[in-house]
Amino acid sequence: MQTIPVLLHSTAMWTTLLVLAALIIVDVLTAVGVALAKGKFELGKLFLFLRTNVLPYFIGYVALLLLVYAAKYVSFPEELTDWLQIAVGGVYVFILGKLVASIVGNLQAIGLPASTPDAYSTKRRR
């Protein structure tokens, strides 16, 4: 019996896409804020940023989701379906990390406090 990955459930699939879309919007808005703060905003650069840094990741993730979704209707071997699910999860985590890092960098460039506590610090707060 073929295992159906968790991401095939429409709610989970749409939730992941909505989270990515929301983070992309926040990333774009913070990047525009940085450009405006520096007085270097150009609409052409915004479109270039979207075309080269945003769309490839989003389209690639959607393509992987569609491949996993197709596995539900095509008799893929269980091993392939399992690997596809792992790949989708890995790509999702990678894109989330990249977006969060970009947002934090943009917030720091604007001057907002967006630092994280140093987990490897040897000094303990008392």
- At residue 89 the predicted structure's pLDDT band, cuts being 50, 70 and 90, is confident
The 10s digit of each residue's pLDDT in 6-32 is 444 567 778 888 999 999 999 999 989
Q: Which of 25, 23, 34, 31 is nearest to 111 (CA)?
A: 34
What is this structure's pTM? Answer: 0.72
| Distance in angstroms (rounded) separating the CA atoms of residues 59 and 76 | 23
User: What single DSSP character describes residue 121?
Assistant: -
One-letter amino acid at 61 equals Y
| Distance in angstroms (rounded) separating the CA atoms of residues 110 and 15 | 29
- Token pair 């970009």 is found at 102
One-letter amino acid at 26 equals V
